[in-house]
Amino acid sequence: MEPRARFQAIGRSLPRAGTRRLVAGRGRYVDDIVLPRMVHAAFLRSPYPHARLARVDLTVARAAPGVLAVYAWSDLQDTVRAWQSRSAAFPGLVSPTQTPLADGRCAWQGEPVLMALADTRAAAEDALELAEIEWEELPAAVGLEAALAPQAPAVHPGLANNVAWTKETLGGDPDEAFAKAALVVETQVHLARLTGVTLEPRGLVADWDPAGETLTVHHSHQMPHQMQAHFAEFFGVPAERVRVVVPDVGGGFGLKMHVYPDEIAAIAGAIKLARPVKFIADRLESLASDIHAREHNVRARMALDGEGHIVGFDVDQRHGAGAYSVFPRGSPVESSAALHLVGAPYRFAHFRGRLTIALQNKAMTGQYRSVGHPIAVLVTERLVELAACARGEDGLALRRRNFTPPGETPYVNGAGQRLFDVSHDACLLALERLVDVPRVRETVRSARAAGRALGFGVACYVEMTATGAEAYGKAGVPVSAADSVSLSVELSGAVRCAASVTEIGQGVTQALAQAVADGVGVPVERVLVHTGDTAQVPHGGGAWASRGAAIGAEAAWLAARRLRRNILEAAARLLGADDESLDLRDGTIVDHRGEARLELSELAHIAAFRGYELPEGFQPQLSLMHHYRRSKDLFLPANGVQASLLEVDLHTGLVRPLRHWAVCDCGRVLNPLLVEEQLRGGVVQGIGEALYEELRYGEDGHLETGTLAEYLVPMAAEMPDIEVAHVQTPYDGTSLGAKGAGEAGVAAAPAAILNAVNDALAPHGAALDAVPISPAAVLEALERGR
């Protein structure tokens, strides 16, 4: 049965929406029908990394109290279709079809197998306990290197090997560069798996209206319009009949911009039952099934000439993708970005990069805050420190020598990155003033003389922000890189703004309000911003790639300037004045002397109710919509420098951050408070990546850090003071000149921490090349150094 016909059949079997009617003589109202009550979804997830479902019997589970349904994949196939990760940017990518519930076989621990729908979450979970399943455990490929071994078990049947995708890139002549190099340094860096522990976990409430054949999903997500398109495709519903509502989201960090099987299953349940279905992932589910990130092994070399100039890099990178490539963007996005960002702060001409991505019987990896950047920065800055040590010179001097001079951009480096408006030299100067480097180094020396192990580390970075339309458009992946804003003048003189960007805790609604207020000429408190509802806001990209100010606020500013022109034109026609002689200040139209002529609220009333007072034929346009897509530059490179001062306990191996400094150039800073707190929040996440967070799997594929008792996150009491400073190099391709800032803190903090730890351990002959830096790893390094 075709999807539309199926939904019509469902609709005919249910009562239509009722009305309230007065009961004669009783003075009260009753309902013709009782609206469907919301039901709750719970999932039985695979306890094995790889297993076949030999037998499934749901008879007892379906008869449990309060249960409306228990579904396997076979029960949902008539409602929702499967999907597959494909991208022209990654030709030949191997990623089998994915289904909302396991299709006879589970490929990772935590994969949803069954879904129960019941009056309460507890009843749904109890029902799943009654499901009878016979599991046939299969060999699993778990570790990154083990999965790529020639005789590794196949992650999926029929695969010749577990290689999901490979890539090689070449720039200049790396063979000659390394052959002629005066110095070659090399390292092997490992970054563990981690995930973003959002304050608000993933969740949704899905509601299918069979009468109107409309689907409404209230969703904790970053991109409502993207999900509207996916839901329409998966469920065969016209997109205009799909409404996605994303309220203020309690943190996204990139985790909430993907398609999740359990969420799709919950929506399918809502359609099948014609009842609202609620699913909220608990912390155990989140750690096991939210998108993971990193898990990279990188071997890298850096070549320098006799004067200490970097001439080239040679990078061999391996990445664990999990059981599938994440949909829709694809798991190679992070590893490909990391490969090409190696060396980005420095000028070099020669590059060789090799990337191998492995399928594994683990949860999928995908885009997470500062996609790929911490990997590239960690590799680069570790090599820079090794080179400085080998040359016997200060690491800051080596960095400064290799920065790209401001007047020599734009240029394309050996890795193929086009860089412009980078300001590393200015950022390093600002950092040296902020830190007072001589004083800090004297503190380190004094502490060491007293038997303490203090260390100071620095890391430079480039952050590619505000991705342009070509990145996903040319890859055939439906991810919007544009944003739209609609503005209207209310009768009160306030301005209502509906924007396609979404609020996920980054404060973008405040940035939009500022842009509109300044652009129109009204007080910021007179701007009302609405986001996140596909039925009320125009189409756009939502929240990703640090684009809120660079693209969203730019759209708001351009819309505001157009609205301002329309307002002044209408006022001029009404007052018989020249447009150029009028101005709009704080909601009041004034003449060239600054004298008030007309309140914006009065103009709105005239346009709405007394249009006859305007010249005949003139139609004031006090509402408009503006669509903005950046027409040049695929990315906007922000940049900066971070530094860390910390202490290592030589007896316990514990690392205690003492101070952290961050200097960032994100173009023009529209709201310093928002930018500074974004940087601080990012630094905290970066410290977590450096010291605490690891999704550790055993050799048997079982997640060993599946609760917040084992998966450690940074806590306020453990965090150092974080001082922030700005360098501003406005982007000349937009009116506002803003670049992205939301991910910069994460980009360099792990590298700064690692360099500081190695600085503290250097007098003891020890060094580390992996994050997170656990106490056990520190003690083992000290033992090796003895």
Phi, psi at 586, each rounded to 5°? 50, 40
> Going from the N-terminus, what domains does the chain have, and what CATH number goes with each?
19-27+482-628 (3.30.365.10), 33-138+198-252+255-289 (3.90.1170.50), 292-469+632-785 (3.30.365.10)
CA distance between the termini of the chain: 73
pLDDT at 241: 98
- In tens, the pLDDT along 12-34 reads 334 334 444 444 444 444 455 55
Which residues, at least 6 apart from 290, have a Cβ–Cβ distance to it below 8 Å?
195, 196, 202, 255, 281, 363
Separation between Cα atoms, residue 266 and residue 497, nearest integer Å: 32
Question: Which tokens go with 196?
Answer: 């973003």
**Would you state the torsion angle of the CA atoms of residues 774, 777, 782, 785, taken in this order, to the nearest 10 degrees?**
-140
Separation between Cα atoms, residue 525 and residue 498, nearest integer Å: 15
**Would you state the torsion angle of the CA atoms of residues 24, 25, 26, 31, taken in this order, to the nearest 10 degrees?**
0
Give the CA count within 13 Å in the CB-facing half-sphere of 719: 19
For the chain, the farthest-separated pair of C-alpha atoms sits apart, in whole angstroms, at 101
Are 227 and 217 within 8 A, CB to CB? yes
Separation between Cα atoms, residue 432 and residue 554, nearest integer Å: 33
Question: Which tokens go with 34?
Answer: 């009782």
The DSSP string of 213-254 is TEEEEEE--S-HHHHHHHHHHHHT--GGGEEEE--S-S--TT
Question: Which tokens go with 42?
Answer: 């719970």
Beta carbons within 10 angstroms of residue 716's beta carbon: 6
pLDDT at 201: 97
Separation between Cα atoms, residue 556 and residue 539, nearest integer Å: 14
Q: What is the chain's Cα-based Rg?
A: 29
Which residue stretches of the chain have pLDDT < 50?
1-30
- In tens, the pLDDT along 638-695 reads 999 999 999 999 999 999 999 999 999 999 999 999 999 999 999 999 999 999 999 9
Separation between Cα atoms, residue 84 and residue 82, nearest integer Å: 7
Residue type at position 566: N
Question: Which segments of 83-240 are extended strands (E)?
Answer: 105-106, 112-118, 132-137, 163-171, 183-194, 203-209, 214-219
Burial label for 556, CB within 10 Å (0-12, 13-18, 19+), is: buried
| Sheet with strand 527-531: strands edge to edge | 527-531, 495-499, 483-489, 623-628
Give the CA count within 13 Å in the CB-facing half-sphere of 663: 23
366: left (phi over 0), alpha (psi -120 to 50) or beta: beta
pLDDT at 292: 98
What is residue 666's DSSP assignment? -
Are 664 and 638 within 8 A, CB to CB? yes
Which residues, at least 6 apart from 186, have a Cβ–Cβ distance to it below 8 Å?
299, 300, 301, 302, 383, 386
> Which one, of 405, 376, 451, 390, lies nearest residue 751 by Cα?
376
Residue ranges of alpha helices (H) inside 460-611 are 470-473, 508-520, 554-575, 600-609
Which residues, at least 6 apart from 457, have a Cβ–Cβ distance to it below 8 Å?
385, 643, 644, 646, 751, 752, 753, 754, 755, 756, 757, 758, 759
